[in-house]
Amino acid sequence: MHTIAASIMCANQLNLSSELQGLEKAKVELLHCDVMDGVFVNNLAMGPYVLEQIKAGTSIPLDIHLATETPAKYIDMYAGLDPEYISFHVEASDNIERDIYTIQEKGIKPALALSPESPIEMIIPFLEKVPMILMMTVNPGFAGQKFNQRVLDKLDALNKVMATLEKKPLIEVDGNINQHTIPPLVEREANIFVLGTSALFNSEQGTFAEKVNNVRELFNRNHKSLGLVDL
């Protein structure tokens, strides 16, 4: 099963109500919300008041990605929004198990995020403690970056490790996810695809529903090419 998450940071911020309505019509399953502190990454984005208004304007569950230093501080700040997921970067946490537990205690699904240059060894000890891994395919901070091909090798290595686990987390991928990068990611068993400027919030003609349907058709074609059952 493949899930589509819309990167709401890439939407038209002056027309969010209409954008959210379009995403609901397109049956997008998650809203990926990037929280940036200007320290862990050189950008600022999506404060709690903004996400509070977004949550009030849609029934689509929130998928909050903390691209921040001191994740514990932001977990407390954003947990009241009752998102489906909160992911934090293992590179930024001084106590990964504690931060996982804190998110779980708030009734939210914890996820671990990993930047392209970070080794998978950083997340391996925690794979059975979380329901999802967020593999960044670009450096967190800015949309429109080039897809990092080396992440494909990391996904191969990650899947080898996860094949030995009884409880396998989902793999979410984020960063220049489009018609060219989706096929190798489907092959590497990615489950949740974050769509931003390159596939959804762009100047190409078509509604969100049409663009999402194109992506779902791409999932199906690549699923069939791998000899798997249709979605």
> Could you tell me if residue 231 is inside a domain?
no
CB atoms within 10 A of CB 98: 13
Alpha carbon distance 209, 114 (integer Å) = 30
Question: Is 76 an active-site residue?
Answer: no
The 10s digit of each residue's pLDDT in 59-85 is 999 999 999 999 999 999 999 999 999
Please give the pLDDT value at position 163: 96
Quote the domain boundaries for residue 116: 3-223
Strands 192-195 and 3-7: parallel
The 10s digit of each residue's pLDDT in 114-163 is 999 999 999 999 999 999 999 999 999 777 789 999 999 999 999 999 99
What letter does residue 229 receive in the DSSP assignment? P
pLDDT, average across residues 179-197: 96
| pLDDT greater at residue 32 or residue 143 | 32
**Catalytic annotation, pick one of 94, 99, 174, 230:** 174
Alpha carbon distance 171, 193 (integer Å) = 9
> Could you tell me if residue 149 is inside a domain?
yes
> Could you tell me if residue 228 is inside a domain?
no
| Beta bridge partners of residue 193, listed in sequence order | 4, 173
Alpha carbon distance 148, 32 (integer Å) = 20
Query: The CATH number of the domain where 206 resides is what?
Result: 3.20.20.70
Percent over 90 (pLDDT), the chain: 90
- Number of domain units in the chain: 1
> Could you tell me if residue 229 is inside a domain?
no
Question: Is 82 an active-site residue?
Answer: no
- Tell me what the pLDDT averaged over the chain comes to: 94
In this prediction, residue 223 has a pLDDT band, given cuts at 50, 70 and 90, of low
Alpha carbon distance 58, 26 (integer Å) = 13
Please give the pLDDT value at position 142: 78
**Catalytic annotation, pick one of 34, 99, 153, 156:** 34
> Could you tell me if residue 230 is inside a domain?
no
24 CB burial (10 A radius; 0-12, 13-18, 19+): middle
Alpha carbon distance 175, 209 (integer Å) = 21
